[in-house]
């Protein structure tokens, strides 16, 4: 390797990594050299140098502008800039006022610098989004007969066993079959603290294992893992244009034609109407093309919305598009599903009431002995409660389930019956207490031994700890109407709603009934959000202005249908999403007002203040950079 080859290779790598910055730098050097040549009285040298600045700095914009012109039959702001610069150069050669060639070169230079700065600003947002990609492992350590083997993630199959050692990234969604560890799920769910997980729990690709080794079983294909769905949705969000952006793009096409038409009029009429000379007229027309171009207006929206999407992703809020970030800020009414959304969706033992001569421990212990043979959700909650109290479970024999009634079996040769009151032939001793518990929305399980009532167990789907605070927070944010939609019975729904401060409840609904309720809300409040997690919520999520799904407990159908996903199943993220949507709206409005104000001021200065081409370029491009950087404010929490 020659001594000079290393610096050259570094320069080449620099050019590959930062092409816009290198282009702007070369253009700047040539503009400076051309200006110096004019200062020293060498116009011929300047005329040779400055065209190179035009070509290097303006090549990319010219190509994009011409491509848009010929392929889409539309005028582009890039092309307007190039026309203005070439017009200034032509005017300078015609009048032999070579400083005008420098003015045109400065226009191209500032346009190139602006493009580089906008690129770097947007890269901040893109890096935040692309960081999701780095969470996925390339290979997994598969446990096979005779040892272990590293297998590419896309080659994993359902049923494969994976070993994940302490500190490693979990390669795909799987179920723990051996081991215990604290999993750092911040990258996926936004949870700040590691979550303790053990045998039977699900873990997610992209999360980080703690101090314990885990043996996992793959239960879904790698491409359907949570992190892969997130990556696909975020990629789609980057390319989907929100309504405001689509409006501005449509406006820009007509606006560019208008600017060209007015530019032609300004280049021809003033000498006849205002008595300007032709040189002054053409120069002012060229400046008009520069300052009237809507670059800042075009940059007012997408940088802000992409920054908001990236911010939401960091907090465990997945916006599927910029349109939904805009829409969530306009929400006036919210409908909540109950089970799995406002509640945990997992029944828990709330209360044990023993009959005379029995104890709570005896009731729970005998019930758990039988329920250990059942896969019903209520049975699981009773067994879990016994395990939490460390009660030894006796072996039950001759266990038989009576569908819709209960379960019966023998424990230590004693006949144990569990289920409805009529099934266990319960006396009226605890009937009043049972009715009170049922009025509170709890399910009552009766337990008897040898036809003698032992007691009752109250089981209920518990309210999420953050649900009540979230409802209050939404009301403080100005959400005008909050309702609950559920397929559960009226009594249970009303009891839950009272605890949460929700005044309007629709119970015993089918999926199509939920859709009708959303439509009714939309006629009154226009922008309505629906929050749900189940398959039966999917139609209502699709009907709502903004569908919001719970990320962990949500069904695949709900996740695919929803517009926004709360990755950590934390309802408080809903208030954060609305606040972020409103911030995005405010930033976009501020940017648009600023961009339009700059255009008006520069136009006025062009006709009444006799500004120069470089000043007009700095004002135009400076406003574009400012609104781009302004949009990046949404990266901050």
Q: Which residues are catalytic?
A: 337
Cα–Cα dist 71/68, whole Å = 5
Cα–Cα dist 200/178, whole Å = 8
For 169, which DSSP code? B
Calculate the alpha carbon distances from 472 to 162, 191, 469, 507, 519 in Å: 44, 22, 5, 22, 24
Helices (H), 477-612: 490-500, 511-525, 538-543, 556-561, 572-608
Cα–Cα dist 163/147, whole Å = 11
Listed residue (14, 115, 118) closest to 58, CA to CA: 115
Backbone angles phi, psi at 93, to 5 degrees: -70, -40
Label residue 592 left, alpha or beta by phi (over 0 means left) and psi (-120 to 50 means alpha): alpha
The answer to whether 363 touches 447, Cβ cutoff 8 Å, is yes
Lateral strand order in the sheet of 333-337: 317-319, 564-566, 546-550, 528-532, 333-337, 481-485, 504-506
Largest separation between any pair of C-alpha atoms in the chain: 116
Backbone angles phi, psi at 618, to 5 degrees: -60, -45
How many Cβ atoms are within 10 Å of 313's Cβ, its own excluded?
22
Cα–Cα dist 418/349, whole Å = 15
Label residue 167 left, alpha or beta by phi (over 0 means left) and psi (-120 to 50 means alpha): left
Strands 564-566 and 546-550: what pairing?
parallel
Q: Which residues contact 342 (CB under 8 A, 6 or more apart)?
A: 336, 463, 464, 467, 484, 496, 500, 571
Calculate the alpha carbon distances from 417 to 309, 363, 373, 425, 490 in Å: 55, 11, 13, 9, 29
For 194, which DSSP code? -
Cα–Cα dist 254/466, whole Å = 50
Helices (H), 18-98: 19-39, 43-71, 77-95
The answer to whether 530 touches 311, Cβ cutoff 8 Å, is no
The answer to whether 51 touches 30, Cβ cutoff 8 Å, is no
Cα–Cα dist 631/584, whole Å = 8
Cα–Cα dist 104/286, whole Å = 10
Listed residue (382, 391, 389) closest to 419, CA to CA: 382
């Amino acid at each position: 390797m020659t001594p000079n080859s290393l610096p050259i290779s570094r320069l080449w790598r620099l050019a590959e990594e930062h092409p816009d910055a290198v282009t702007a730098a070369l253009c700047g050097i040539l503009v400076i050299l051309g200006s110096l040549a004019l200062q020293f009285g060498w116009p011929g040298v300047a005329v040779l140098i400055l065209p190179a600045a035009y070509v290097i700095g303006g090549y990319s914009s010219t190509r994009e502008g011409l491509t848009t012109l010929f392929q889409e039959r539309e005028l582009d702001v890039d092309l307007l800039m190039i026309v203005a610069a070439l017009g200034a150069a032509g005017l300078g050669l015609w009048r032999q006022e070579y400083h005008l060639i420098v003015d045109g070169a400065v226009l191209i230079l500032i346009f190139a610098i602006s493009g580089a700065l906008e690129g770097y600003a947007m890269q901040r947002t893109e890096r935040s989004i692309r960081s999701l990609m780095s969470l996925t492992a390339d290979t997994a350590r598969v446990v096979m007969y005779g040892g272990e083997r590293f297998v590419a993630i896309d080659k994993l199959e359902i049923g494969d066993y994976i070993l994940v050692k302490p500190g490693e990234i979990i390669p795909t969604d799987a179920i723990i079959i051996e081991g215990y560890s604290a999993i750092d799920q911040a990258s996926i769910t936004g949870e700040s603290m590691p979550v303790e997980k053990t045998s039977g729990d699900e873990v997610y690709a992209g999360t980080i294992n703690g101090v314990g080794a885990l043996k996992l079983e793959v239960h879904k294909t790698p491409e359907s893992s949570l992190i892969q769905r997130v990556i696909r949705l975020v990629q789609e969000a980057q390319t989907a244009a929100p309504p405001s952006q689509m409006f501005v793009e449509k406006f820009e096409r007509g606006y560019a034609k208008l600017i060209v038409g007015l530019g032609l009029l300004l280049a021809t009429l003033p000498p006849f109407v205002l008595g300007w000379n032709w040189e002054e007229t053409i120069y002012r027309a060229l400046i008009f093309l520069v300052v009237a171009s809507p670059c800042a207006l075009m940059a007012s929206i997408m940088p802000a919305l992409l920054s908001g999407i990236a911010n939401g992703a960091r907090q465990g809020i997945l916006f599927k598009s910029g349109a939904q970030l805009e829409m969530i800020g306009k929400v006036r009414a919210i409908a909540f599903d109950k089970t799995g959304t406002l509640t945990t969706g997992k029944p828990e033992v709330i209360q044990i009431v023993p009959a005379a001569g029995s104890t709570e421990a005896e009731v729970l212990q005998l019930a758990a002995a039988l329920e250990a043979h059942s896969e019903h959700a209520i049975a699981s909650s009773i067994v879990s409660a016994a395990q939490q109290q460390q009660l030894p479970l006796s072996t039950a024999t001759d266990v038989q389930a009576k569908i819709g009634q209960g379960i019966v079996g023998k424990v230590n040769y004693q006949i144990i019956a569990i289920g409805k009151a009529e099934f266990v032939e319960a006396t009226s001793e605890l009937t009043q207490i049972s009715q009170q518990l049922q009025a509170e929305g709890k399910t009552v399980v009766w337990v008897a031994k040898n036809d003698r009532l032992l007691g009752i167990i109250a089981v209920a789907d518990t309210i999420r700890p953050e649900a009540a605070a979230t409802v209050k927070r939404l009301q403080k944010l100005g959400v005008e109407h909050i309702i609950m939609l559920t397929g559960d019975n009226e009594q249970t729904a009303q009891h839950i709603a009272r605890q949460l401060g929700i005044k309007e409840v629709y119970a015993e609904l089918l999926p199509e009934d939920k859709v009708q309720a959303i439509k009714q809300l939309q006629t009154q409040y226009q922008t309505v959000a629906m929050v749900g997690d189940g398959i039966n919520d999917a139609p209502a999520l699709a009907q709502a202005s903004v569908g919001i799904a719970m990320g962990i407990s949500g069904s695949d159908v709900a996740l695919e249908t929803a517009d926004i996903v709360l990755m950590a199943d934390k309802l408080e993220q809903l208030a954060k999403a609305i606040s972020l949507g409103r911030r995005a709206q405010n930033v976009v409005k501020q940017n648009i007002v600023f961009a339009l104000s700059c255009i008006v001021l520069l136009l006025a200065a062009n006709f009444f203040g006799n500004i120069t081409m470089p000043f007009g370029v700095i004002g135009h491009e400076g406003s574009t950079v400012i609104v781009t950087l302004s949009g990046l404010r949404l990266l901050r929490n």
